[in-house]
Structure 1
Amino acid sequence: MSESSERAGGQPEEKRRGLGGAIGDLLAPVAGFGVTFSNMFRPTVTEQYPYVRHPTAPRYHGRHQLNRYPDGLEKCIGCELCAWACPADAIFVEGADNTPENQHSPGERYGAVYQINYLRCIFCGLCIEACPTRALTMGNDFELAGPTREGLIFTKEELLAPLTQGMLGVPHPMVEGTTDRDYYRGEVTGPTADQIAWVERERPEDPTLEGARQAAATKAVR
């Protein structure tokens, strides 16, 4: 007789369990199915994506965007701080010098090349915190899947915010009499007559000219 049986009064374990233990073994699978059956009659919570799209949280970390100032100049100054802050090495930036004939952003530099590799990006948002000009933000777009690896390396043209009504296509000079600090402080609210005249002279067929003229006229009336 085993030591455990002796401690229990000298009877084998099978006899001590009796009828109750046998019934418990028999009903154990039924108890598992009980969980299944109880969930069968609960309301369906499956989201019918992509046929039904629910809005994301307001601060959801989705696809990146390179922003612009109200006159159309780009906010990115090519400082590469976002690339240095990225823990996944997903960002590549190459800066270039602004010139009077090729002014893309306020100040001396702009981001000539900007790429984000979404095969590496972990959407942590550290690049957003590192940006000194608030040029880089994250939107709510999460549908980034694609058939090729090359298609998931987004270029500057894909990341740059579109020109809204009233903005003037780049390149063009800064607002006359301003510095990059004036742009950072939000003192520039739209294109001026001098900027519009410069684009008319250099690029008379620019499609953003009409909207910029209307915005400047409305501003002058106010």
Structure 2
Amino acid sequence: MQPFGTLKGFGVTFKHIFKKPITQQYPEFKRPVYPRFRGRHRLHRHANGLEKCVGCSLCAAACPSDCIRVVAEENTADNRVSAGERYARIYEINLSRCIFCGYCELACPFDAITLGNEFELSEYSRDDLIYTKDMLLAEPIKRIPVQDADLYDTPIPAYKSSS
């Protein structure tokens, strides 16, 4: 049985050795991510500029890795930050602890926090992985075009490729 397994392995190798490789120009073009991909966290604002987060801390309570810190404060007449009675004075997410489960997104009743498509989150220091409220409210820094989605969307499974 051993020689047959070896020959079968060589057959797989020879089948793929003559195929043309798919070369991706990664820094210039990104592959599209799956629609349900959970990447970098973002806080959102209403159309009038007020923050959607009201500091209820439901996201922090739902987080299994305890990486979200919310400190709420009351809105005043001269300092109106959110549409509710309170707002999040401090909102921090420690991405070195985050498991990107999406429970914070599901727990938020105001759709204030979402997990987007941005996946390049590496840093040189752990302190830089603590995202503050200003960082979460900001737009993503890099906008890189997606290469041909039809060609690079997903690899073709072995059982479907009959070439």
TM-score by length of 2: 0.76
Partner Cα separation in structure 2 for residue 109 and residue 25 of structure 1: 70
Greater RCO, CA 8 A, separation 6+: 2
Length, aligned pairs only = 139
- Give the gaps of 5 or more residues in structure 1: 1-23, 163-222
Q: Deviations over 1:198-217 (max 9, x none)?
A: xxxxxxxxxxxxxxxxxxxx
- Which one of the candidate residues 51, 63, 69 is aligned to 1:92? 69
Determine the structure 1 residue equivalent to 2:147. Answer: none
Instruction: Give the C-alpha shift of residue 30 in structure 1.
Output: 4.6
Instruction: With the length of structure 1 as denominator, give the TM-score of the two structures.
Output: 0.57
Give RMSD over aligned pairs.
Answer: 2.1
Q: How many Å separate the matches in 2 of 1:101 and 1:75?
A: 18
Alignment of 1:141-180 (within 5 A): 141-161=118-138
* Identity across the alignment (%): 51
Q: Secondary structure, in 3 states, of the residue corresponding to 1:142?
A: coil
1:153, CA displacement in angstroms? Answer: 0.9
Contact residue 68 and residue 161 of structure 1 kept, 8 A: no
Residues 168-211 of structure 1 show CA distances to partners (whole Å, capped at 9, x for unaligned) of xxxxxxxxxxxxxxxxxxxxxxxxxxxxxxxxxxxxxxxxxxxx
| Structure 2 partner of 1:130 | 107
Larger Rg: 1
Aligned counterpart for 1:102 among listed residues 69, 79, 91? 79
Instruction: Find the aligned partners of 1:115 and 1:85 in 2 and give their Cα distance.
Output: 15
What SS does the corresponding residue of 1:129 show, helix, strand or coil?
A: helix
1:55 corresponds to 2:39: no
Task: Name the structure where helix makes up a greater proportion of residues.
Answer: 1
**Partner residue, 2:50:** 73
Matched AA of 1:148: S
Partner amino acid, structure 1, of 2:33:
T
SS at match of 1:157: helix
1:27-66 alignment runs, 5 A limit: 29-45=6-22, 47-66=24-43
Q: Deviations over 1:128-157 (max 9, x none)?
A: 111111111121111111111111111001
Unaligned runs of 5+ in 2: 140-163
Instruction: State the Cα deviation string for residues 84-139 of structure 1 (Å, max 9, x = none).
Output: 00011111111111111211111210000011111111111111111111111121
